[in-house]
Structure 1
Amino acid sequence: MAQRPNLTGPLRARLRLPLTLTWAGLVAERLVRAFWPLWTLLAAVAAALMLGLHELLMFELAASVMIAAVLGAAALLIVGLARFRWPRRREALDRLDAALPGRPLQALGDAQGIGRGDPASEALWDAHRARMERAAEAARAPRPDLRIARLDPFGLRYIALLGLVVALLFGSVWRVTSAAQLAQGGGSGAPVSGPTWEGWIEPPVYTGLPSLYLADQQGKRLDVPVGSRVTLRFYGEIGALALAETVSGRTEDIGAATDPEQAFDVVQDGTLAIDGPGGRKWDIRAVPDAAPSAALTPDGAKTTFDGQMSQPFTAQDDYGVTGGTATFRLVLEDVDRRYGLAAEPEPRDPVVLDLPLPITGGRAEFSETLVGNLSQHPWAHLPVTLTLQVEDAAGQTGTSAPLRMDLPARRFFDPLAAAVIEQRRDLLWSAANAPRVAQVLRAVTYQPGETLFRDKADYLKLRTILRRLEAGTTDGTVPAELRDELAQALWDLALALEDGDIGDALERMREAQERLSEAMRNGASEDEMARLMQELRDATDDYLRHKSMQAEREGGPDEPNSGDRETTLLQQQDLQDMMDRIEELMRQGRIAEAEEAMRQFQEMMENLRVTEGQGGDGEGSPGGQAMEGLADTLREQQDLSDQAFRDLQQQFNQGSGGGQTPGNEGLGDGQDGEGQQGLGQQGEGQGAGRDGTGGGAGAQPGPDGRPQGLADRQQALRQELQRQRGNLPGGGEAAEDARRSLDRAGEAMDGAEQALRDGDMAGAIDRQAEAMDALRDGMRELGRAMAEQNGMQQDDEGRAEGGASGPQSDPLGRRAGEGRSAGTDGNLLQGEDVYRRARELLDELRRRSGEGARPEVERDYLRRLLDRF
């Protein structure tokens, strides 16, 4: 048997803490093994008491269970005490020594058996003891083994703990005290305790307010919504507690005040009292549910060119609006009863639209916009009243003040289309107008001439409608089904006549501008000028819509012409800025300045029409061909930059799974194997070869059919740009600026090519971005050179109006300045317009950054702009 270890002072101090922890672990192990049945039973009993299970059993059964639990706990306590043994220091030392390799503590208790007196043997023994002491210094207290699965194979301890957790979450600790009632006799049927009560006040669900537990309400006054439910329960001897209340207003079917259960609703102010031992009293204030309200916001109302109405409104309620409607009613006494409206109208139901409600957030108070298109309704542009009605969860309704207006609808600027729409309205106004409508349509289609109908198909459609109307008219009226069918046909025809082509839209915009100019010269009223200004806006929006559609048709659905799109956006913004300025001047009464701004708008329109009609810059002219070539080069450079960016991403995502992502749309189904392998090896090819000719997604077949790397493609693009620079037409300062911009683009392309060959993808992308900026500058300067050339040709041919020669204006009325600057004939942005312009630019940046179809490089650039500004 090993002797007690002979520990030195420093070693003994070092082992004091691990030895103490080891001893504590042994105590924990023995406590768990000896007393786990006891605390399992205690946890199960506590869970049952907190959940109130003893209240569900008969007195005799509950008392028997409690006695059995007490006896069982006592027995388990005795057994546990018998099993438990305090650990000794020697046991802790053995446990600690067993956790160390070589059991150094036991070795330190050994004595030298042989070789005593031999210096060599004693030196060896001292070296052995020194090594054991060093091993003992690394002692760490072992973890106690608290696993008792062998002793509890059915997991009873876990079941008891789960029950205790559930009781703590859903039960009440105070129910444990009711177990003391079991100690009292229950055989006589007497109550186990004195009288007690509990009660709640539950507000209506739609209010979202919490329930009130009356025992916790310390104040004397309670504010509760009308309709709240009061529930009371009395326990103990019947009659010991009684209810006294004046909040329900009940006069019939009232039970006894001492009934064990009471339930009623709060409908009025009053008192609530419980008389008896432990009774309480409260003053109840019944808070009525206020009716919802709504209001229209006429200042923000607008109607688009196609008749879509936007009417802002506000609504509020104390607990939230649940629904609402907008109702349009015809004001018959305000209708101009002439022509087709002279007949008595057929009865029609009011137009009812559902109000939009917020999808997120609360509905207690909100602002929304009612959107709808009522252009096809017979009341279009007739006087109506708009009334909002909102409803809350209690069924209460609130109505807004009626708003007098003309029913918002689409306006038709083409005279023939407007006439067709007017006859459609008359036919829907009253079926008795059928003979008159047929007569007017026959007069319109009689010898129409060459200019009335742009398309003969429209003429034939109108004649077909006329014949069907005349054939279906019987006794001066027409059946409702046929009338509705003809009305739809007239609407479709009017749309075809109104929309026409882009030339018609431009002409309508010119006519609206002339009408507004004439109204300003004649001193028209503010309402009339506001109406004409709205017509000009609608006509301008219609023209720009046609322009956008034309650009999409010319570019194709899959690859729209970005240049036309940006030009259209620029035209739209400048035109809108000018119209906003004119409207602001008219609103301020500065008519002279408004007329001057209108003159500038006319010049802008004239320049726009001249640009639309020019043929010198078409596809067949040298300038147009050069512009097309530069545009192709810019697109190819953009594609090359996108591919370089995707390859840079691939370098940082080696080993990523297959599949198409926004960065590799170009991979087809056939590239799942080899294509992905090429992508995965591109970084290696570029880093090892340093020639930029690695495969991967950037490789495309060259003229000889072999794969062409990014650097080779960049070199070919630079050579093509040099060829295009040599073929630039014209001369002058603008042409020289264009050539200098292309030189900068060529230098940037050369730097990008070298960076690609060196494997510097990030540097190549930066240089490619510089090349694209320089290309755009070159295209802009080339366009200015072409405009100057066209101006010189117009000077040679003579002008219709006199004027000093000077810098030519671009299609938007801006004069070219020195270098790359440009100016206008006047200060178009003044006052708050500057801030509005800034907000619009910021909105445009956000819109473009959210378009997934744009290249990732461009979207990353837009996001950097947004982060900065």
Structure 2
Amino acid sequence: MADQTRYTETMRRLRWPLILTWAGMLSERVARAFWPLWTLLLLCAAGLMLGLGQILSTDVLWALAALSGLAALVLLARGLWRLRIPRREEAFRRLDGTLKGQPLQTLRDDQVMGQNDAGSAALWAAHRDRMARQAASARAVEPDLKLSTRDVFGLRYVALMLLLAGLLFGSIWRLGDIGGALPGSAQAAVGPSWEGWMEPPLHTGLPTVYLGDIDGEVLHAPQGALVTLRFYGPEGRLELAETVSGRVGELPSASAPAQDFTIRQAGQLAVEGPGGREWRVALIPDRAPSVSIEGPGEADVEGLFSMPFSARDDYGVAAGKALISLDLAAIDRRYGLALEPEPRAPLEIVLPMPLTGSRADFTAALVEDFSQHPWANLPVTVSLTVEDALGQSGRSEGYDMLLDARRFFDPLAATLIEMRRDLLWNRENAQRVTQVLRAVRWYGEGLFPNETIAMRLDRLIGKIETIQRFRPLSDDQVARVTQALWDMAIEIEEGDLADARDRMERARQRLEEAMRNGASDQEIARLMQELRDATQDYMRQLAQQQAREQGQQQGQQQGQQDMENAMRMTQDDIQRMMDRIQELMEEGRMAEAQQALEELQQMLENMQMTEGQGGEGQQSPGEQAMEGLGETLRNQQELSDESFRDLQDQFNPNGRSGERNQGEPGEGQEQGQQQQGGQGQQQGEEPGQQQGQGGQPGQGGDQGSADAEGLAERQRALRDELERQRGNLPGAGTEAGRAAREALEEADRAMRGAEDALREGDLAEAIDEQSRAMDALREGMRNLGDAMAQQDREMAGQQGEAEGDNPGQRNDPLGRNAGTNGALGNEREMLSDEEVRRRAQDLLDEIRRRSGENARTAEERDYLRRLLDRF
């Protein structure tokens, strides 16, 4: 009796697990029996929601419906035939099978043997107690609903995916369309239906309009809007009537279920038939864009041309271009421009468009560098054209102006650029170009900064003349010649500020030595003029360098004007002091002239300090890199000059290099040409190919080889030094820093080529490679300067604080030491009145220069201007 009670109590606790297990078994058998049926039903529902009822004809639709209904009945009967309702005993066995030792069946069993044995009875009771505890932990068995063994093709998942697609992209209300095909149905009484959308062009940014929501009679539509209409129901009951598309020719049927057209004009739009609607379409016109030039283009010191313009459109400008043509009537047709110009297509430059913001009304600037174009600094006519997204265009009126480009102030550089322009104007000017260049070469003593450029010009003249004797210059030859002229002009114009400073210092030392030694008046006058020329050259290059830096770093016209004014005042002071020195020497007051010359030296030293931004304190890595590259450039220049002198020695073995450098500039040229003419040198033949032909046998052979080997070793040392400097180059990660590294890599390759040419004894090739190396070095220094300027702009806010550090350890421009507690003092004797006046002038110049630097804060510049107004 106790055993039966324990079993009943256990089964009462396991009632819900047993019921849930039975329900799971029932769901398994229902799914296995009816999965084909609900798969078919899902497929039918998905097809209706996706619009299958509107695509198929009524007959085909009802045929498919009949087949689907018959298949559903067959699958239902099949499912009912296979369905077996699970019995309670089956659920009992499944639940008991999930437990260890089948405890439910044990509780149901009775003891057969040993019932009268107390030990056996106790053992049986303990066993049942253990089974009862284990049965108490029973949980409902989860059903196995996997149908992969029966649905091997996954048809149920396909049906489910199509149903989801119908819910997302179709409409659940289309499920009722199947009843609309029944004769006499309610849907048939309602009549046909339609849908329509108006989609404005993408560039307008307007939203799509559902025509069914437009209750008014007027429909405002932008030009180019796309109208889409769909007619549902029996074909022919609804028709389209419209006069807005302007379509002609063969048109689709007005009762076609699908209608698509674009609105081109105002008119009427109607859906005629039961439930139709009519609108009067008011067209929103898309006006053509417009563009205008806001002012003449101007170029900065580096030749970067900038021309402002403004453009407008109701929805936004899509693209634009500038058309630049030569204004031949406005050109002064003299000299090299007297011939008719070679035909050139007008320049087409893409106009910059704003990357962010609205393009409906904006102002921008066309920025290009036309310095190397044949029309640079010539009158041109500029017209701008812009387009919108519909292809409509607007054009500005022709604007006459100069195609402003880089200006060259050095006379020799300006001459080379003018000859380059004449050759690009018409290649028949080649003879005139060579004549002018030969005249410059013959009478241009002192114009050439170094012998290498003079030799390059000689070779270029000879090359042009040789080609002209046989045929006109080809396009490729014109391009190479004009590029060579441009490179030489850039090298001459930019020059080397350090070389100019060295020439000025040497001229001052020679003048001072002549005054001490009591040289003749003619000698002193000559040396004084030499100092004047060297100083003017230094001042000019210093002004141009500062103008370039000012234009690159700030781009402000007012700051550049202040800098030029300050430089002009400093140059005037130097010229007045030189006039005073010459006056004292003419009067025989050599002691006073010597003292004035020392004062000039001090002023020049102060200028060098200003050039170097104070010249005190620890140099930054960028400044150290610039200084090292400048030293490498000077050494390369000296090595190139020595190579040139050795090459001259090969053509004139009996002459002396020093005498030739002091002689007439055309002497070596004539001698070299005579030798070249005697050998019948043709185009492209290098002078280095005639080594040893003009001298006596056995003269200069071993010595020349030794000299070439020594030059090669020096070239290798320079290349090693450049390699070291490249490893410590700042500005990594910036565009200018990468450009600097690429330029220095090009310089390294050119140095390697020069070294190989020197070892082979080909001095002409070595000089060409050395020239390429110097050009690449200058380009690398310019790019490095841009990288440093960018870093300075990023740190402009810290500049004022950096200048105020350690006030007790810096002297002011008057030579006084600012004390630690604000007191002014000096450990040296006070300066003389003349020194005070000079230092005061230097201070004023420095204040004026700093007041024009827009990189400084507005408060600091305002303070500096107040100082200028006061003093």
TM-score of the superposed pair, with normalisation by structure 1:
0.53
Cα deviations across residues 722-762 of structure 1 (Å, max 9, x unaligned)?
Answer: xxxxxxxxxxxxxxxxxxxxxxxxxxxxxxxxxxxxxxxxx
Q: 1:508 to 1:457 in 2, by over 3 A?
A: closer
Q: Larger relative CO (CA 8 A, sep 6+): 1 or 2?
A: 2
Q: Tell me the residue number matched to 2:141.
A: 142
1:47 has 2:73 as partner: no
Deviation of 1:594 after TM superposition, in Å, equals 11
Deviation of 1:19 after TM superposition, in Å, equals 3.9
Q: 1:482 to 1:213 in 2, by over 3 A?
A: same
Deviation of 1:247 after TM superposition, in Å, equals 2.6
AA aligned to 1:273 is A
Q: Tell me the residue number matched to 1:454.
A: 449
AA aligned to 2:611 is M
Q: Tell me the residue number matched to 2:784.
A: none
Cα deviations across residues 316-356 of structure 1 (Å, max 9, x unaligned)?
Answer: 65555443212334556776777656777666543221235
Asked if 2 retains the 8 angstrom alpha-carbon contact of 1:313 and 1:367, the reply is: yes
- Indicate which of 286, 289, 294 corresponds to 1:292: 289
Q: Tell me the residue number matched to 1:604.
A: 610
AA aligned to 1:147 is K
Q: Tell me the residue number matched to 1:539.
A: 545
Asked if 1 retains the 8 angstrom alpha-carbon contact of 2:385 and 2:396, the reply is: yes
Q: How does 1:57-72 map to 2 (within 5 A)?
A: 62-72=61-71
Deviation of 1:277 after TM superposition, in Å, equals 0.7
Q: 1:252 to 1:166 in 2, by over 3 A?
A: closer
Asked if 2 retains the 8 angstrom alpha-carbon contact of 1:505 and 1:539, the reply is: no
Q: The residue matched to 1:25 in structure 2 has which SS? A: helix
Deviation of 1:244 after TM superposition, in Å, equals 4.0
Asked if 1 retains the 8 angstrom alpha-carbon contact of 2:220 and 2:283, the reply is: yes
Q: Tell me the residue number matched to 2:637.
A: none
Q: 1:257 to 1:408 in 2, by over 3 A?
A: same
- Indicate which of 375, 381, 387 corresponds to 2:377: 381
Q: What is the distance in 2 between the residues matched to 1:593 and 1:492?
A: 28
Asked if 2 retains the 8 angstrom alpha-carbon contact of 1:47 and 1:163, the reply is: yes
Q: What is the distance in 2 between the residues matched to 1:158 and 1:292?
A: 55
AA aligned to 2:451 is K
Q: Tell me the residue number matched to 1:423.
A: 419
- Indicate which of 242, 267, 271 corresponds to 2:268: 271
CA RMSD across the alignment: 6.1
Q: Tell me the residue number matched to 1:131.
A: 130
Q: 1:110 to 1:410 in 2, by over 3 A?
A: farther
AA aligned to 1:407 is L
AA aligned to 1:69 is S
Q: 1:216 to 1:107 in 2, by over 3 A?
A: farther
Deviation of 1:372 after TM superposition, in Å, equals 3.3
Q: 1:22 to 1:166 in 2, by over 3 A?
A: same
Cα deviations across residues 770-808 of structure 1 (Å, max 9, x unaligned)?
Answer: xxxxxxxxxx99xx99xxxxxxxxx99xx999758xxx9
AA aligned to 2:73 is A
- Indicate which of 490, 501, 522 corresponds to 2:485: 490
Deviation of 1:25 after TM superposition, in Å, equals 1.8
Q: What is the distance in 2 between the residues matched to 1:484 and 1:274?
A: 68
Structure 1 segments unaligned to the other structure (5+ residues): 511-532, 543-571, 620-631, 640-779, 786-794, 815-823, 839-869
Asked if 1 retains the 8 angstrom alpha-carbon contact of 2:566 and 2:848, the reply is: no
Asked if 2 retains the 8 angstrom alpha-carbon contact of 1:203 and 1:211, the reply is: yes
Q: What is the distance in 1 between the residues matched to 2:288 and 2:495?
A: 51
Q: What is the distance in 1 between the residues matched to 2:485 and 2:561?
A: 37
1:393 has 2:389 as partner: yes
Deviation of 1:421 after TM superposition, in Å, equals 0.8
Q: How does 1:625-664 map to 2 (within 5 A)?
A: none
Asked if 2 retains the 8 angstrom alpha-carbon contact of 1:181 and 1:193, the reply is: no
1:352 has 2:337 as partner: no
AA aligned to 2:493 is E
Q: What is the distance in 2 between the residues matched to 1:320 and 1:508?
A: 59
Q: How does 1:718-867 map to 2 (within 5 A)?
A: 803=835, 833-834=855-856
Q: What is the distance in 2 between the residues matched to 1:275 and 1:534?
A: 85
Q: What is the distance in 2 between the residues matched to 1:412 and 1:33?
A: 94
Is 342-351 or 93-102 further displaced after alignment?
A: 342-351
Structure number with higher helix proportion: 2
Q: Tell me the residue number matched to 1:414.
A: 410
Matched positions, count: 593
Q: 1:258 to 1:465 in 2, by over 3 A?
A: same
- Indicate which of 363, 369, 372 corresponds to 2:368: 372
What is the percent sequence identity of the aligned residues? Answer: 44
AA aligned to 1:281 is E
1:280 has 2:280 as partner: no
Q: Tell me the residue number matched to 1:545.
A: none
Q: Tell me the residue number matched to 1:80.
A: 79
Q: What is the distance in 1 between the residues matched to 2:371 and 2:493?
A: 14
AA aligned to 2:389 is A
Asked if 2 retains the 8 angstrom alpha-carbon contact of 1:244 and 1:272, the reply is: yes
Q: Tell me the residue number matched to 1:791.
A: none
Q: Tell me the residue number matched to 1:718.
A: none
Asked if 1 retains the 8 angstrom alpha-carbon contact of 2:559 and 2:853, the reply is: no
Q: What is the distance in 1 between the residues matched to 2:119 and 2:434?
A: 137
Q: Tell me the residue number matched to 1:323.
A: 319
Asked if 1 retains the 8 angstrom alpha-carbon contact of 2:547 and 2:560, the reply is: no
Q: What is the distance in 1 between the residues matched to 2:27 and 2:319?
A: 65
Q: What is the distance in 1 between the residues matched to 2:256 and 2:124?
A: 94
Q: The residue matched to 2:220 in structure 1 has which SS? A: strand
Deviation of 1:28 after TM superposition, in Å, equals 1.7
Q: What is the distance in 2 between the residues matched to 1:156 and 1:614?
A: 79
Q: 1:124 to 1:388 in 2, by over 3 A?
A: farther
Structure 2 segments unaligned to the other structure (5+ residues): 506-538, 574-602, 633-720, 729-804, 811-826, 861-871
AA aligned to 1:453 is F
Q: How does 1:506-655 map to 2 (within 5 A)?
A: 539-540=545-546, 583-584=558-559, 603-605=609-611
Deviation of 1:169 after TM superposition, in Å, equals 4.9
Asked if 2 retains the 8 angstrom alpha-carbon contact of 1:5 and 1:106, the reply is: no
Q: The residue matched to 1:81 in structure 2 has which SS? A: helix
Q: 1:308 to 1:68 in 2, by over 3 A?
A: same
Q: The residue matched to 1:446 in structure 2 has which SS? A: helix
Cα deviations across residues 345-370 of structure 1 (Å, max 9, x unaligned)?
Answer: 66654322123557899977788764
Deviation of 1:57 after TM superposition, in Å, equals 5.9
Q: How does 1:176-215 map to 2 (within 5 A)?
A: 176-181=175-180, 183-184=182-183, 194-204=191-201, 214-215=211-212
Q: Tell me the residue number matched to 1:37.
A: 36
Q: 1:17 to 1:504 in 2, by over 3 A?
A: farther
Q: The residue matched to 1:285 in structure 2 has which SS? A: strand
Q: What is the distance in 2 between the residues matched to 1:380 and 1:179?
A: 78
AA aligned to 2:156 is R
AA aligned to 1:490 is L
AA aligned to 1:323 is A
Deviation of 1:378 after TM superposition, in Å, equals 2.7
Asked if 2 retains the 8 angstrom alpha-carbon contact of 1:29 and 1:146, the reply is: yes
Q: What is the distance in 2 between the residues matched to 1:57 and 1:254?
A: 24
Q: What is the distance in 2 between the residues matched to 1:53 and 1:264?
A: 24
Asked if 2 retains the 8 angstrom alpha-carbon contact of 1:414 and 1:508, the reply is: no
Is 253-262 or 313-322 further displaced after alignment?
A: 253-262
Q: Tell me the residue number matched to 2:580.
A: none
1:107 has 2:106 as partner: yes
Q: What is the distance in 1 between the residues matched to 2:356 and 2:114?
A: 91
Q: What is the distance in 2 between the residues matched to 1:349 and 1:364?
A: 31
Is 310-319 or 406-415 further displaced after alignment?
A: 310-319
**Larger Rg: 1 or 2?**
2
Q: What is the distance in 2 between the residues matched to 1:581 and 1:330?
A: 30
Cα deviations across residues 354-412 of structure 1 (Å, max 9, x unaligned)?
Answer: 23557899977788764533212233234545443222332211345777764343333
Deviation of 1:284 after TM superposition, in Å, equals 2.4
